[in-house]
Structure 1
Amino acid sequence: MKVKVLVRNPDDYLRETKKDIHKVPRNYDPALHPLETPREYTRALNAVKLERVFALPFIGSLDGHRDGVTCLGKHPDHLSWLYSGACDGELKLWDVAKRKIMHTVQAHDGFVRAMTFSQETASLYTVGDDKLIKQWKTEQEDGSDLKAPVNTVLTSGMLTGISHHRSKPVMATCGEACSLWEHSRAQPIKTFQWGVDSLRGIRFNQVEENILAACGSDRSIILYDMRESTPVRKVVLKMRSNSLCWNPMEAFIFTVANEDFNLYTFDMRRLRLPINVHKDHTSAVIDVDYSPTGKEFVTGSYDKTIRIYNARQSYSRDIYHTKRMQRLTCTAWSLDDRFVYCGSDEMNIRIWKARASEKLGVVKPREKMAVQVNAKLIEKFAHHPAIKRIKRHRHVPKHVYNATSEMQQSQNAARRKEFNVRTHSKRPLPVVSEKEKVIVSEHQ
Structure 2
Amino acid sequence: MDRVAEPDGTEEFQATVTNDNEITVEARTKVAPKVENAKEQHCGGCCLCIKVAPKVEIVIDTCGSHVKKGRNLIICIDGTANQFGNQNTNVIELYNLLLKDPEDEQLTWYNSGIGTYAEPHWRSLRYWLQVLLHKIDLAIAWNFDKTILGAYGWLAENYRKGDCIYLFGFSRGAFQVRALSAMIDQIGLIHKGNEMQIPFAYQLYARSGDAAQRVKKVGTSEHVSKTERFKKAFSREVKVHFVGAWDTVSSIGTARGKHTLPGTTEGMQHVCYFRHALALDERRVKFLPEYAWGGSAVDRSSNDATANQSRNLRGETKESDGGPPHTVETWFPGTHSDIGGGNRQNEGMDRSRPPLRWMVSEARAAGLRTREFDRELLAKEHIEIQESLTGVWHLFELLPFLRLTYTVRPEGSSVRTLTRRPHCWASRKIHHGQKIHPAVLVEEMRESYLPQARLALQGPRSLLARLRSDKHGREMFWDTIRKDGLNNADGWLLGDLSSSARVAVRHLVKRDDKSLIEQIMGFKNGPQALTGAFVEVLEEDSHQGDDQSTTRPSICQISDDNKCDLLGRVLQSTHTSCDGTYVPMKVIKPFVDSLLTQGTEEHKRVARKFLQLFSDMCILQLKGHTLYVTSVAFTPDCKHVVSGSWDNTIRIWDAATGQGVREPLRGHNGWIWSVAVSADSQRIVSGSDDHTVRIWDARTRQEVAPSPLRGSTYPLSVAISPDGSRIVAGSADGMIHVWDAETGESTIPPLKGHEDWVRSVVISPDGNRIVSGSHDCTVRVWDIRSGAEVKRMTGNMRLVRSVAISPDGSKIVSGSADETVRIWDAKTGQQVGKPLLGHTYDVNSVVFSPDGRQIVSGSDDRTIRIWDVETGKQVGKPLKGHTYSVKSVAISSDGKLIASGSGDNTIRIWDGELALSADLVED
* TM-score class, shorter: 0.5 to 0.7
Q: Give, in angstroms, the shift of residue 197 of structure 1.
A: 3.5
Do the aligned partners of residues 51 and 187 (structure 1) sit closer, same or farther apart at CA in structure 2, a change above 3 Å counting? closer
For 2:710, the equivalent position in structure 1 comes to 154
Indicate whether 1:181 and 2:769 are aligned.
Answer: no
Cα displacement string for residues 392-433 of structure 1 (whole angstroms, at most 9, x for unaligned residues): 49xxxxxxxxxxxxxx9xxxxxxxxxxxxxxxxxxxxxxxxx
Q: CA deviation at 1:125?
A: 1.2
Aligned 8 A contact 1:88 1:109 in 2: no
1:225-244 equivalence runs, <5 A: 225-237=783-795, 238-244=797-803
- In structure 1, the residue matched to 2:874 is 316
SS in 1 for 2:661: strand
Determine which structure has the larger helix proportion and give its number.
2
Determine helix, strand or coil for the equivalent of 1:300: strand
**Residues 168 and 350 of structure 1: CA distance in aligned 2, closer, same or farther (over 3 Å):** closer
Pick from 840, 843, 858 the counterpart of residue 285 of structure 1. 843
Change (3 A) 1:156 1:172: closer
Q: Which residue of 1 aligns with 2:699?
A: 139
CA shift for structure 1 position 72: 0.7
Deviations 1:359-416 (A, max 9, x none): xxxxxxxxxxxxxxxx9xx99xxxxxxxxxxx749xxxxxxxxxxxxxx9xxxxxxxx
1:105 aligns with 2:665: yes
Tell me the residue number matched to 2:28.
Answer: none
Deviation at 1:117, TM superposition (A): 2.4
Larger Rg: 2
Cα distance in 1 for residues equivalent to 2:820 and 2:915: 26
Q: 1:229 to 1:327 in 2, by over 3 A?
A: closer
Tell me the residue number matched to 2:758.
199
* Residues 49 and 88 of structure 1, relative CA distance in 2, 3 Å threshold: same
Counterpart for residue 127 of structure 1: 687
| Offset of residue 124 of structure 1 | 1.1
User: Are the equivalent residues in 1 in contact too, given 2:632–2:888 (CA < 8 A)?
Assistant: yes
| 2:703 pairs with 1:171 | no
CA contact (8 A) 2:689 2:713 kept: no
Q: Relative CO higher for 1 or 2, CA cutoff 8 Å, sep ≥ 6? A: 1
Q: Deviations over 1:76-106 (max 9, x none)?
A: 23x1211101111111010121221113122
Letter in 1 for 2:710: L
Contact 1:70 1:111 in 2 (8 A): no
Q: Could you say if the C-alpha distance between residues 127 and 46 of structure 1 is closer, same or farther in structure 2, counting changes exceeding 3 Å?
A: closer
Shift of 1:323: 5.2
Query: CA 1:148 to 1:183, structure 2 compared with 1: closer, same or farther past 3 Å?
Result: closer
Question: What is the deviation of 1:230?
Answer: 2.3
CA 1:152–1:45 in structure 2 vs 1: closer, same or farther (change >3 Å)? closer
Find the aligned partners of 1:273 and 1:99 in 2 and give their Cα distance.
Answer: 39
CA displacement, residues 218-272 of structure 1 (integer Å, 9 cap, x when unaligned): 1111110123242122122222211011111x22211111111111111122223
Please give the alpha-carbon distance, in whole angstroms, between the structure 2 residues aligned to 1:197 and 1:324. 30
Q: Which has the higher strand share?
A: 1
1:165-202: per-residue Cα shift (whole Å, max 9, x none)? 11251121111211211024444221211152331210
Q: Distance in 1 between matches of 2:745 and 2:646?
A: 27
- Of 153-162 and 213-222, the range deviating more from structure 2: 153-162
Partner AA of 1:268 in structure 2: A
Letter in structure 2 aligned against 1:179: H
TM-score (norm 2): 0.32
Q: 2:914 aligns to what SS in structure 1?
A: coil
Give the whole-Å Cα distance in 1 for the aligned partners of 2:840 and 2:793: 24
Could you tell me whether the CA contact under 8 Å between 1:306 and 1:319 is conserved in 2?
A: no
| Secondary structure of 1:317's aligned partner | coil
8 Å contact kept, 2:645–2:672? yes
Range that drifts further, 302-311 or 178-187 = 178-187
CA RMSD of aligned residues (A): 2.8
**Residue in 2 aligned with 1:325?**
883
Name the CA distance, whole Å, in 1 between partners of 2:915 and 2:777.
Answer: 38
Q: Which residue of 1 aligns with 2:813?
A: 255
Q: More deviation in 320-329 or 169-178? A: 320-329
TM-score (norm 1): 0.65
Assess if the C-alpha contact under 8 Å between 1:193 and 1:230 holds in 2: no
CA distance, structure 2, for counterparts of residue 264 and residue 357 of structure 1 = 20
The change in CA–CA distance for 1:93 and 1:48 in structure 2 (over 3 A counts) is closer
Residue 274 in structure 1 maps to residue 832 in structure 2: yes
2:610 equivalent to 1:53: yes
Say if 2:632 is the partner of 1:72: yes
Alignment check: 8 A CA contact 1:83 1:92 kept: yes
The answer as to whether partners of 1:245 and 1:254 remain within 8 angstroms in 2 is: yes
Contact 1:92 1:101 in 2 (8 A): yes
AA aligned opposite 2:722: R
Residue in 1 that maps onto 2:852: 294
Query: Which moved further from structure 2: 163-172 or 253-262?
Result: 163-172
Rounded to whole Å, the distance in 2 between the matches of 1:219 and 1:307 is 22
Deviation at 1:156, TM superposition (A): 4.8
The letter for the 1-side match of 2:692 is L
In structure 1, how many angstroms separate the alpha carbons of the residues matched to 2:921 and 2:605? 10
Kindly tell me: are residues 253 and 197 of structure 1, through their superposed partners in 2, closer, same or farther at Cα, counting changes over 3 Å?
A: same
- Could you list the per-position Cα deviations for residues 100-141 of structure 1 after superposition, in whole angstroms to 9, with x for gaps in the alignment? 11131224222211122234692111110001111100124x
User: What SS class does the counterpart of residue 160 from structure 1 fall into?
Assistant: strand
The letter of the residue matching 1:157 is: T
Q: How far apart are the structure 2 equivalents of 1:164 and 1:323? A: 31
Contact 1:164/1:172 (8 A) holds in 2:
yes
Please give the per-residue CA displacement for 1:317-361, whole angstroms capped at 9, x wherever unaligned: 123444553210011111221111111111111111124389xxx
Of 892, 895, 910, the residue aligned with 1:337 is 895
Question: How far apart, CA to CA, are the structure 2 residues paired with 1:155 and 1:116?
Answer: 19
Shift of 1:46: 10
| Matches of 2:723 and 2:863, distance apart in 1 | 35
Q: Is the 8 A contact 2:819 2:842 kept in 1?
A: yes
Paired residues of 1:91 and 1:107 also in contact (CA < 8 A): no
Deviates more, 1:307-316 or 1:216-225: 307-316
1:116 aligns with 2:672: no
Cα distance in structure 2, aligned partners of 1:324 and 1:113: 19
